[in-house]
Structures are given as structure tokens and as C-alpha cells.
Structure 1
Amino acid sequence: MPNQKGNQVLSLEDVYALQQLVARFANSFDLKDWVRLERCLAPELHTDYSDLRGTPPERMSSSRFVELRRSALQELQTHHLAGHVEIEGSGSVGTVKASMAIYRRNALGEVLNTHCLYIFGVARTDGAWTINSIVQKVFINHGQTAIHKGIEK
């Protein structure tokens, strides 16, 4: 449906699909369902986890993204809680902003908790929405960064 400027805005079905995409993305980490995580992603994506990891933004394949997360998080218990979802877009592209609290615990009971904002670039291809860009802005980190293998030491 067009807005006042004549641009195509997202339908309620698209908004629902994007909320579900963010939920699947977050739950995939906690379930250690790496196949499901990869299905949330475009074949290639831009990532910027510089606030958490101390690494520069980069472009990578979805399989590389998933392998990096699997190797860093497989041994940790995690719980990703998403809320305050803002969705903007038109046609087949958009941006989803989601506040997230990420709880992590290792076998020794040490924790690393992150409160952040994810900014997802999304696109609809062949009728399905996928994430093609991920930027994580960290507000609060609390705990032992050493338990997370993906953080630069």
C-alpha cells in the first residue's frame, strides 16, 4: 500500500514476517540450531560487531557467519531476549531495530551479559525475508568477556 509520498510501505503481513524473522534469529542461538540460523540470512551479509568483539565491520557468507557463531557459542548456555522492535521499509527492503538482552553462561557458572541494539538490514527475495546486514550496538556488557571465544582479547 502506498504512503502519502507514493512509496510502497510494508504490509501487516510483512511486519509480522519480520518480527518472526528476528525471533527465529535469536532463538536459533539458544537452541544451537545453526541450520535454522543460516536460513534467516541472505547468502552474503555485512556485519558490524565492533562494539562487542573489537573487530572491524566485514562482509561474509552466511555459512561463515554461522560457523563463527557456532564455534564461539556452542559451549555456552545463552538466552537472547528481543523487544522494542521497530520496523521500517518499503517494497522488498527494510530495516529492523530490536533491543536485545543476551545472557551467556559457561560450565563454570561464569557469565557475560550484553544489552544491545541490533540493526538488521532485511530484504525479501522469492517471497521470503532474510537478513543481509547486522550491526550490533552495545549499551552494557557485564561479566567475563573471556568466556566468549568470539571477542578479541
Structure 2
Amino acid sequence: MQALDPLDHIAINDVLCRFFLAFDERDWAAMEACLATEVFIDYASSGREPPNTMNGAEFVQRRRNAVDTLAKHHSFSNLLLSNEPEGVRGRCNYLILRFDRDFKGEGEDFYHSCGAYEFRFGKAEGLWKISSITQRALRSWGNRQLHGGTRMAVG
């Protein structure tokens, strides 16, 4: 394994910061700018969509279609990056806090999750892009029905 240049580490960390912030702010153009043309997605551990390769625009459209009224806060920690022949591999822990701004039903007004993400990164036109996202869900708690992606998978 070859050492990763510190400037590349900083640039990849920045891509992840922008990617997660795009979820929170529903900034779909910013989210798509973080993604490679083709992206492998695996959210199976959280009971959502099975592993699949799609283009970046389709990934973003799926996030948009998971309509909800949740205020979200994504954070990540313990980012480890390694330079491998097929590209840079990344792993980080995550915590996603979700609160329903318009909740009027019974039960909790939140749905939170934590776990780890595994990423692959590659360069396109000189910029680091996310080419693979695998979520390793550890635990979720709260009102599952608030989460648009979960409702789509269950319903």
C-alpha cells in the first residue's frame, strides 16, 4: 500500500464534508458534484436499496425522491484513507440525527442512525470524487416511519 499524499487526504476529507452537508441542506447540485459519473451504492445493511451501480444523477434523484420533512445533521469521524491500486479507500464512522419539523403523529419525532461508511474515491478532471458508498449500519432508534428511504423499502 502506497502512502497517500497529505494534500489528497485533505481534499478527500473536504469532499466528504461537502457530501454530507449537501444531505443536510438538500443541496442536490452540490451532492452531485461530489460524485463520480458512475457510483456503486450499498445500503443493504440498513434495510434499504440492494447493492447497485448507478450514475451520480440517479443517486441524487433517489435522495430527492425520499421526500421527508426531517431536519438532518450528518457527521463523520475517524476517517481512515488508504491508497490502493483500484483507487483510494476510505472508512469513517457516522452519526445521522434526524428530527421531524412538522411531526403531528404519535410516537417520537426523531429517527437517528449510527454506523460506518466505506468509500472509494477516484479523480475526475483533477478533482476527487466518490465512486463507491457502502453503509454499515450499526443501530437506528426513534420513529422509523419518519425516514423516507426506510418507508420506501418497507412499503
Q: Is the counterpart of residue 145 in structure 1 residue 139 in structure 2?
A: no
Looking at structure 1, the residues matched to 47 and 86 of structure 2 have their Cα atoms a distance apart, in angstroms, of 31
Find the counterpart in structure 2 of residue 99 from structure 1.
Answer: 93
Q: How does 1:49-60 map to 2 (within 5 A)?
A: 49-60=43-54
Asked if structure 2 preserves the Cα contact closer than 8 Å seen for 1:123 and 1:130, the reply is yes
Taking structure 2 as the reference length, the TM-score comes to: 0.88
2:75 maps to what in 1?
A: 81
Q: What is the RMSD computed on CA atoms of the aligned residues?
A: 1.7
Between the two proteins, what is the percent identity of the paired residues?
28
Q: Which runs of 5+ in 1 are unaligned?
A: 1-6
Q: Offset at 1:92?
A: 7.9
Q: Would you say how many aligned residue pairs link Structure 1 and Structure 2?
A: 147
The CA deviation at 1:68 is 1.0
- Tell which deviates more after alignment, 110-119 or 85-94: 85-94
Where do 1:1-153 residues align within 5 Å? Answer: 8-73=2-67, 75-90=69-84, 93-106=87-100, 107-108=102-103, 110-151=109-150, 152-153=153-154
Greater mean alpha carbon deviation, residues 55-64 or residues 79-88: 55-64
CA displacement, residues 84-119 of structure 1 (integer Å, 9 cap, x when unaligned): 110111578211111110011222161110001010
Is the CA contact 1:85–1:96 (under 8 Å) kept in the aligned structure 2? yes
Note the residue ranges of structure 2 that are not aligned, 5 or more in a row: none
